[in-house]
Amino acid sequence: MFRGCEPRIPFSFGLTTGAVMFPDIARDDVFRLETRRLWLRWPRLSDAPAIERYCAKWEVARYTARIPHPYPKGSAERFVFAAREGNTLGRDLAMMITPLGAPSRILGAISLERRGTDRLTLGYALAPEAWGRGYGTEAGRAIVDAAFSLSAVVEVDASVRVENPASGRVLEKIGFVRVGRGLRGAPARGAMVECDAYVLPRNDWTARREAASLETAR
């Protein structure tokens, strides 16, 4: 399942606990994850025009809780500064998704945000021209692998609008399990919206990884 999407990171760097989720290696802006087709790297200010281009599209914003529509000028820059702050503090891990070897071509963004002391919430949005090629799943696996490998997180969660089956499918392919349905606040939509809640506990992630290693060894 995880074959070809392994983040190439030195796993020997110490795990972290407590308020700081991610260790020093992830808190430096040279940190990068590599998959078969993608690089995931820290956001930078020069990404703002590309971020604005896709975030301004209704088909991108409509199922998200926090991308406003219309997309106000300066929002992309604010996203970059906030992402870099969260990454620097080791609280979150927000990464731009680019093709492998083309770090200036933005396909989208993906993030893990700390929730409480030992949980992370996954979020992502890709530019429409990048949809339907498996990039969301590939980037999702990479950042989730990094989370469990680099931090002491016990569970990663995500919530998906019930009208957004593509996103639910991405989570299922990564190994998330749907655990319920209910109303969630979506500040950018100005309302509560009906969402499916998904979780990926560390034990499930470990079991999937072991099964994938056995499959590869065969």
Binding site for ligand COA (CB under 6 A): 60, 63-64, 108, 124-126, 131-137, 160, 164-167, 169-170
Amino acid letter, residue 59: E
Residue number with CB closer to ligand COA (16 or 64)? 64
Q: How far is it, in rounded angstroms, from Cα 182 to Cα 184?
A: 7
Residue number with CB closer to ligand COA (90 or 138)? 138
Q: How far is it, in rounded angstroms, from Cα 123 to Cα 109?
A: 8
**CB within 8 A of 123, min separation 6: which ones?**
64, 110, 111, 112, 113, 158
CB of 140 to ligand COA, least distance (A): 8
CB of 23 to ligand COA, least distance (A): 27
Q: Which residue is nearest to ligand COA (CB)?
A: 136
Residue number with CB closer to ligand COA (151 or 167)? 167
CB of 51 to ligand COA, least distance (A): 13
**207 and 174 in contact (C-beta within 8 Å)?**
no
CB of 143 to ligand COA, least distance (A): 12
Residue number with CB closer to ligand COA (125 or 147)? 125
**Where in 13-163 does DSSP place strands (E)?**
32-34, 38-41, 93-99, 108-115, 119-126, 155-161
